[in-house]
Amino acid sequence: MTRVLDVCDLRVSFPTADGSRLHPVDGVSFSLDRGETLALVGESGCGKSLTSLALLRLVPPPGRVDPGSGIRLGDTDVLALEGEALRRIRGRRIGMIFQDPMTSLNPVFTVGAQIAEGVRAHFPVSKSEARERALRLLQEVGIPDPSARLDAYPHQLSGGMRQRVMIAIALSAEPDILVADEPTTALDVTVQAQILEVLDQLRRSRGMAVLLITHDLGIVAGRADRVAVMYAGQIVEEAATPDLFARPSHPYTQGLFASVPRITGPVRRLTPIRGTVPPPVAWPAGCRFRPRCPQAFEQCELPPGLRPVGSGHSMRCWLAEESS
Amino acid sequence: MTAAAEALRQLFGTPRGRAGASFLAFLVLLALVGPLLLPDPFRQFDLIELANAPPSADHPFGTDQLSRDVLSRVVSGARVSLAVAAIAVALSVTLGAGVGLVAGYWGGAVDATLMRLVDGALAVPRLFLLLLVLAVPERVPLLALILLIGTTGWFATSRLVRAEVLRLREETFVHAAEALGASRRRIIFRHLLVNAAGPLLVAATLGVGDVILLEAGLSFLGLGVQPPTPSWGGMILDARPVLETAPWVGIFPGIAITLTVLATNLVGDALSDALDPRGA
Amino acid sequence: MRRWLLRRAVQALLTLAVAVVLLFLITHVLPGDPLSREGAGHPLTAAQIEALRARYGLDRPLHEQLGAFLGGLAHGDLGTSIEYGRPVTGLLLERLPATILLGGTVLLLNFTLGIWLGVRQAVRKGTAEDRWLTTLSLAGYATPSFWLGLVLAWLVGIKWHLLPPAGMRDPVLEGGVLATSADVLRHLVLPAVTLSVVSIAATMRYQRSAMLETLRLPYVMTARAKGLSETRVTWRHAWRNAVFPVLTLFGLWLPILVSGSVFVEAVFAWPGLGSLAASAVGNRDYPLLMGASVLVAAVVVAASLVSDVAYAFLDPRVRLS
């Protein structure tokens, strides 16, 4: 398997009013191989969106990616790039899809123009050739009657179609990696499955790697090869999807599963995770999940590292030591 | 009213807000106390020796054609300008709030008529309205001038208040409170005061600057504050013939106007940012 | 869309009508007798005053006078100037070109420089440059236009002899079109700069805040993620949307320009509508002032209409609904 993306100890920090820095992304590491889908799962505020923005160096100022972080695309060190070189990898090596297609598309340009722009930003083709490619992309993402839709404005399309356009834009420069940040959150349930299906098909037909960011465990099953669960800026559990669903090991992951209703099996009470997600300013020292963890013990006052709990399955919890 | 207190706190938090507020405070103090410490602005010191004299230790801003001390005249002018502006703006804001409230609350034909009137009045620049009004009568006493300036400045404020009333009318919490038996009128009025107080304060502050410029301009054209009452605009008008030989006579009043209006704008800006930091 | 255009146009006409009636009422309901100006220098006999009153139609009831005025207006008749003794309309038209030249230049300066600076401020928000530009533009707005004009005329025109301090043309200059145009341009500089300094703040601030709002929107992030250059993202994506509020500013900004031009034209003896209005004030020539005010109101209403229509055409969300 060719490795296309390597993220090592990624830290993103923001300055605070009193001069110190907060780290909403605090030591995240993962990798992507060609053709696989990795799901990055977590609640809002865990740092998953910032992680994805960091890959393209799009972290909004005054935030920044801290030195010591590593982001590698094959041989390219993303953090060492500047100016023109950086611009060249955006869209061309990694394509991004954002959450809300209504506000993520420019309202004053036609859909076709926005896709073609993505093409021409990276390939020296004529306007008509770019338009041709835009048309083919619209077809590829499954938009009916694409030639008519080329000259449509975003507000004239439905939510699902707009998201397909976003995907087309993300693909316009033929990237190897697709990052989808909550691609279905703003869509109706019926449309969600369609979009996920489109993403899956594109992954297979183009051999891309997909980083799927979501808070919804439901869309992960059957769509992702591996899952990484994030909490308070860190990855707390990582496993192949079937493994994670069969044996969720980290108390947070277990809590997530326990709070999701299931159609199969006996009717049971939902057990929510007590407490709320703390903001970066209020992260406890030691294990960040400790205040909410039903299995916390003394050792948890020290920060745990990622430890293996099975083949290709690791978690950030002192219970890992206990079980081994 | 804690929003107002918070706004004031933020006003003094920015260097520009502080600068503007400090200058205005200084100016008001000067206007109140200055005439006690400075020579009589009408006093002609020495028509032969001291007319059009450049700035010196005795006369920091120099003297004018009638050998009057320019500094005292500028400070006297401050009194007039600030008083005119304060009263006129108070009138404008009250009128504007009143009309806006009536239009927004009553709605229907009343609203439509009032807003048509406002649109029409806004089409004519305020200066032209005042030129017309002031050009016809023989002589306009100061109080009448202030009232006229005040009655030409409420149009935009009425739109602001009306918009706020309309917005509040549709808020679900109003319906909810009504369902619980509260009087619709009281709810809207109370929330209106709280919500509109900020923008009204900003409008008033900026309005003061606008009126100072307007009054100075009118005085420059001979229509505003009439001599012998000193006014900044009038001083600039009088300084025209001696601009080349005694520039200080005209320059200092102009600087005074600029600094004062700049200060009010800085304060208004800081207040506005404090109320809605998104645009900062 | 067509229906909206029609409604908007009717609305504009209605607003203008209200403005005109308002202006009429102001002049005819106030205390003070404009006729006492006539014949300053030698007192008028009662009979002469009566005759003048009849001539100007001031002895008829108010609504008749209004009707006569509106009727005349429909024919382009704005009355007769007391000072010049000629039709007001003719006088206004004579002076209009000079004001259009000055106003047009200031408009161009404001909406190019002002927009560019506003965008620059937004992109560099919070920097020293941003803060200084705000303070400077506010200082410009705070400066009385007549005073700035006098100072510039004196310094640049008289003391340093760099540019002509007054007028639109050099009376003794002879030459072809090129020489005359250059001459007018030289005379145009000081008044245009004066007027621009005091009015550019409005454009800058509007553009800055509109741009700040737009830069926050997700589609700007999408554009960056596509790998577009920062310049392209700023101007083609963000500014294309942030320009709309500035367009609507045009209708609001014009009254500032018109008022400023009264003072600037007076100070620089620029032979336009502004200086005409200023001298009409001195002469208490209220028909001329009325006529000028009506014209100004019409221009402001038209400008507002134009900017609304432009907005509608440029924003596809409105155009295609």
Of C164 and B139, the one with more pLDDT: C164
Which stretches of chain C sit within 8 Å of chain A by CB? 217-219, 221-229, 237, 240-241, 314-317, 320
* Domain of residue C180, residue span: 88-320
Q: What is the mean pLDDT of residues B238-258?
A: 91
Of C283 and C321, the one with more pLDDT: C283
**C191 belongs to a structural domain:** yes
Q: What is the mean pLDDT of residues C18-38?
A: 73
C273 Cα distance to chain centroid: 10
Of B262 and C58, the one with more pLDDT: B262
- Closest-CA residue in chain C for B213? C144
**C151 belongs to a structural domain:** yes
Q: What is the mean pLDDT of residues C215-223?
A: 93
How large is the C-alpha radius of gyration of chain A?
21
The answer to whether residue B133 neighbours chain C at the CB level (below 8 Å) is yes
Find the CB nearest A98 among C222, C229, C314.
Answer: C222
Please determine, for residue C189, whether its predicted confidence score (pLDDT) is greater than 90. Answer: yes
The answer to whether residue C131 neighbours chain B at the CB level (below 8 Å) is yes
How far apart, in whole angstroms, are the C-alpha atoms of residue A294 and residue C4? 63
- Closest-CA residue in chain A for C124? A61
Find the CB nearest C218 among A104, A117, A122.
Answer: A104
Please determine, for residue A211, whether its predicted confidence score (pLDDT) is greater than 90. Answer: yes
Q: Quick one: pLDDT band at residue B280, thresholds 50, 70, 90? A: very low
Please determine, for residue A278, whether its predicted confidence score (pLDDT) is greater than 60. Answer: yes
Question: Comparing C-alpha atoms, which of A154, A151, A149 is closest to residue A166?
Answer: A154
The answer to whether residue C166 neighbours chain B at the CB level (below 8 Å) is no
Q: What is the mean pLDDT of residues A165-176?
A: 93
Find the CB nearest A58 among C224, C229, C240.
Answer: C224
Q: Give tens-digit pLDDT for C222-241.
A: 999 999 999 999 999 999 99
Instruction: CATH 3.40.50.300 in chain A: give the residue spans.
Output: 3-224
The answer to whether residue C314 neighbours chain B at the CB level (below 8 Å) is no
What mean pLDDT is reported for chain C? 86
CB contact under 8 A, B128 and C31: no
Question: Comparing C-alpha atoms, which of C192, C90, C32 is closest to residue B223?
Answer: C32
CB contact under 8 A, C225 and A56: yes
**C258 belongs to a structural domain:** yes
Residue type, C16: L
Rounded to 10 degrees, what is the CA torsion of A111, A116, A121, A122? Answer: 130
Q: Quick one: pLDDT band at residue A40, thresholds 50, 70, 90? A: very high
Q: Give tens-digit pLDDT for A55-101.
A: 999 998 888 998 889 999 988 898 888 888 999 999 999 999 998 88
Percent of chain A whose pLDDT exceeds 70: 98
Looking at domain A3-224, its CATH class is: alpha beta
Q: Are A112 and A134 in contact (CB under 8 A)?
A: yes
Mutate to test the interface with B, among C78, C88, C147 (most CBs of B within 10 A): C147
Mutate to test the interface with C, among B126, B149, B154, B213 (most CBs of C within 10 A): B213
Please determine, for residue C115, whether its predicted confidence score (pLDDT) is greater than 90. Answer: yes
Of B38 and C275, the one with more pLDDT: C275
In sequence order, the 6+-apart residues with CB closer than 8 A to the CB of B263 are B19, B20, B21, B23, B24, B27
CB contact under 8 A, A153 and C226: no
In sequence order, the 6+-apart residues with CB closer than 8 A to the CB of A78 are A55, A56, A57, A71, A72, A86, A89
Find the CB nearest C139 among B128, B247, B258.
Answer: B258
CB contact under 8 A, C240 and A96: no
Find the CB nearest C135 among B16, B133, B137.
Answer: B16
B touches A, CB cut-off 8 Å, minimum 3 pairs: no
Kindly state the DSSP code that residue C158 receives in the 8-state scheme.
I
Q: What integer pLDDT is reported at residue A229 of this predicted model?
A: 93
| Distance from the A176 Cα atom to the nearest Cα atom in chain C, whole angstroms | 14
Q: What integer pLDDT is reported at residue C39 of this predicted model?
A: 47
Number of domains within chain C: 1
| H or E element in which residue A309 lies | strand A306-310
CB contact under 8 A, C32 and B137: yes
Residue type, B280: A
How many Cα neighbours within 13 Å face the side chain of C165?
17
Q: Give tens-digit pLDDT for B92-102.
A: 999 999 999 88
Q: Which residues of C touch B137 (CB under 8 A)?
A: 30-32
Q: What integer pLDDT is reported at residue C225 of this predicted model?
A: 93
- Closest-CA residue in chain C for A171? C226
Please determine, for residue C291, whether its predicted confidence score (pLDDT) is greater than 70. Answer: yes
Task: Tally Cβ neighbours within 10 Å of residue C57.
Answer: 13
Rounded to the nearest 5 percent, the helix, strand and coil shares of chain C are: 80, 0, 20
- Closest-CA residue in chain B for C275? B221
Find the CB nearest C281 among B122, B137, B223.
Answer: B223
What mean pLDDT is reported for chain A? 89
Mutate to test the interface with C, among A96, A104, A211 (most CBs of C within 10 A): A104
CB contact under 8 A, C143 and B257: yes
Q: Which residues of C touch A98 (CB under 8 A)?
A: 218, 221-222, 225
CB contact under 8 A, A106 and C316: no
Q: What is the mean pLDDT of residues C47-64?
A: 69
Chains B & C: contacts with CB separation below 8 Å: 166
The answer to whether residue B266 neighbours chain C at the CB level (below 8 Å) is yes
Find the CB nearest A107 among C223, C228, C316.
Answer: C316
Q: Quick one: pLDDT band at residue A223, thresholds 50, 70, 90? A: confident
CB contact under 8 A, A87 and C222: no
Mutate to test the interface with A, among C130, C217, C226 (most CBs of A within 10 A): C226
Q: Give tens-digit pLDDT for B181-204.
A: 777 777 777 777 777 788 888 899
**C16 belongs to a structural domain:** no
Q: Are C294 and C20 in contact (CB under 8 A)?
A: yes
The answer to whether residue C161 neighbours chain B at the CB level (below 8 Å) is no
Q: Is B47 helix (H, G, I), strand (E, B) or coil?
A: coil
Q: What integer pLDDT is reported at residue C43 of this predicted model?
A: 58
| Distance from the C175 Cα atom to the nearest Cα atom in chain B, whole angstroms | 32
What mean pLDDT is reported for chain B? 86
Percent of chain B whose pLDDT exceeds 90: 36
CB contact under 8 A, C293 and B269: no
Of B269 and A323, the one with more pLDDT: B269
Q: What integer pLDDT is reported at residue C36 of this predicted model?
A: 56
Task: Kindly state the tokens that stand for C277.
Answer: 């209005």
Find the CB nearest B135 among C131, C266, C284.
Answer: C284
Q: Which residues of C touch B276 (CB under 8 A)?
A: none
Task: Tally Cβ neighbours within 10 Å of residue A8.
Answer: 14
- ∠ CA C308-C311-C315, nearest 5°, is 150
CB contact under 8 A, B135 and C15: no
Q: Which domains are present in chain B? A: 11-38+67-275 (1.10.3720.10)
How far apart, in whole angstroms, are the C-alpha atoms of residue C161 and residue C163? 6
Q: Which of residues 77-116 of A touch C (CB under 8 A)?
A: 87-92, 95-96, 98-100, 103-109
| Distance from the C178 Cα atom to the nearest Cα atom in chain B, whole angstroms | 33
Q: What integer pLDDT is reported at residue B279 of this predicted model?
A: 45
Please determine, for residue C29, whether its predicted confidence score (pLDDT) is greater than 80. Answer: no
Please determine, for residue A227, whether its predicted confidence score (pLDDT) is greater than 90. Answer: yes
Q: What is the mean pLDDT of residues A289-298?
A: 86
Q: Give tens-digit pLDDT for C260-273.
A: 999 999 999 999 99
| Distance from the C230 Cα atom to the nearest Cα atom in chain A, whole angstroms | 9
The answer to whether residue C295 neighbours chain B at the CB level (below 8 Å) is no
CB contact under 8 A, C221 and A88: no
Q: Give tens-digit pLDDT for B39-57.
A: 887 888 777 777 788 888 8
- CATH of residue C295's domain is 1.10.3720.10
CB contact under 8 A, C226 and A156: no
Of A268 and A252, the one with more pLDDT: A252
Long-range CB pairs of B250-256 (<8 Å, 24+ gap) are B250/C147, B250/C150, B250/C151, B251/C151, B252/B61, B252/B62, B252/B70, B252/B71, B252/B74, B253/B70, B253/B73, B253/B74, B253/B77, B253/C147, B254/C143, B254/C144, B254/C147, B254/C148, B254/C150, B254/C151, B256/B74, B256/B77, B256/B78, B256/B232
| Distance from the B221 Cα atom to the nearest Cα atom in chain C, whole angstroms | 7
Find the CB nearest B125 among C146, C154, C258.
Answer: C258
